[in-house]
Amino acid sequence: MSDAADPFDPWAPNPIDGSFRRRIHLLRHAEVVYLQADGSVVADPRAVELTEAGLEQARQVRDMLAAVQFDQVLCSGLPRTRQTAEVVAQGRGLAIGEVPTLEEIRSGPRTPLPPDRIPWEAAYSLWQAGQPDASFHNGERFDDFAARTRQGIEGIVAQRDWKDLLLVLHGAVNRAILCWALDAPLDSFPRFEQDFCCLNVIDIDVDTEGRILRKIVRLVNLTPYDLPKREQRLTTMETAALRLMKLLGL
Q: Where are the domains of the chain?
A: 20-248
pLDDT band at 196 (very low <50, low <70, confident <90, very high): very high
CA 200, 153, 90: angle at the middle one, nearest 5?
55
Residue 86 has pLDDT above 70, yes or no: yes
pLDDT at 1 over 50: no
Compute the average pLDDT of residues 142-150: 97
Region 78-103 average pLDDT:
98
- All residues at 6 or more sequence positions from 71 whose CB lies less than 8 Å from its CB, including other chains: 8, 10, 161, 162, 163, 164, 165
Question: Is the distance from CB of 108 to CB of 137 less than 8 angstroms?
Answer: yes
Per the CB < 8 A criterion, the answer to whether 134 and 84 are in contact is: no
Q: Which of residues 199 and 246 earns the better pLDDT score?
A: 199
Question: For residues 161 and 178, which has the higher predicted lDDT (pLDDT)?
Answer: 178
Strand order in the sheet with 96-98: 96-98, 72-75, 164-169, 20-28, 199-206, 212-222
5 pLDDT higher than 60: no
Q: Is 195 exposed, middle or buried (0-12, 13-18, 19+ CB in 10 A)?
A: buried
Query: Domain 20-248 - what CATH class?
Result: alpha beta
Which of 102-111, 179-188, 217-226, 227-236 is predicted with the least confidence, judged by mean pLDDT? Answer: 102-111
Say whether pLDDT at 11 is over 60: no
pLDDT of amino acid 214: 97
Mean of pLDDT values over 88-109: 96
Nearest C-alpha neighbor of 62 from the set 169, 166, 156, 193: 166
User: What is the pTM for the complete model shown?
Assistant: 0.92
Whether 8 shows a pLDDT value over 80: the answer reads no
Q: What angle do CA 139, 241, 78 make, to 5 degrees?
A: 55
pLDDT band, residue 87 (cuts 50/70/90): very high
pLDDT > 70: percent of the chain = 93
Tell the burial category of 224 from Cβ atoms under 10 Å away from its Cβ (0-12, 13-18, 19+). middle
The strand pairing partners of 204, in sequence order, are 22, 215
